[in-house]
Amino acid sequence: MQPPSIIAHRGASTDRPEHTIGAYELALQEGADGLECDIRLSRDGEIVCVHDGTLSRTSNGRGRVSALSLEELRKFDYGTWHRHGQAAGLLVLDELLDLVKGTGVQLFVETKHPVRYRNEVERKLVEALKRHRLDEQIVMMSFSAAAVRVFRKMAPDVRTVQLVSWYRGGAMPSFAHCTGPNVRLLRNDPGYVERARRAGLETYVWTVDSPEDIALCRDLGVRYLATNAPANTRHLLAANLAA
């Protein structure tokens, strides 16, 4: 059975501030197979890499991302809040696309919803991928089924993941290439991965850091494993495979 591909969740976010260029550079140095980011739109329609709708957790700024211009967002520090952090600027998607270009690693891009600009973020993402010519390296993800469906119409050649945080026995997401449960769901329902496989879907699981969860994903045949600590997860996978 093929071991899971290791996807650096918001970069190597255990050791660097999430969504900073340093976190992604470290993830590449540590041999991550892929990177993951979250994107939102600024007030003036620029794509920025920020998880939360507000700035207070991961910067020294305040306010909603969507209510501030790119120039205003750039005034804040996005690094020193982290225990291993140093001052860091805002990361915009174009910079991250430039970083992965030519590396061969996949970039999993999550569009956040609900947002005031609705599917404008998906349209802007499609435009960015055309500019950078990176369709083959990009995977689009969202918890919003409507967003995934809209994106597939605009960019049918780009792979997609329907993220899920709970499951009540319903149908698998046939409109996406991959299903994306959190690891808690797999602990409660380990048969989920096999059912997804029978439905023709690969599985992207988040967020997997503990030795027990890493072993669970390996044993179930998970395809993509999103982790905050790619180097440690790689080490644990190798140790488990050698055992």
**Residue 185, both tokens:** 């769901």
Q: Is the omega angle on the peptide bond into residue 190 within 30 degrees of 0, that is, cis?
A: no
Helix (H) or strand (E) holding 38: strand 34-41
Q: How many helices (H) and strands (E) does the chain have?
A: 9, 9
Catalytic residue among 19, 51, 177, 235: 51
d(CA 155, CA 195): 27
d(CA 192, CA 49): 30
- Active site (annotated) includes residue 51: yes
First-last CA distance in the chain: 15
- Is the Cβ–Cβ distance between 78 and 21 less than 8 Å? no
| Residue tagged 């700035």 (tokens) | 55
- Active site (annotated) includes residue 84: no
Catalytic residue among 9, 19, 82, 177: 9
- Is the Cβ–Cβ distance between 15 and 230 less than 8 Å? no
Q: Which residues are catalytic?
A: 9, 51
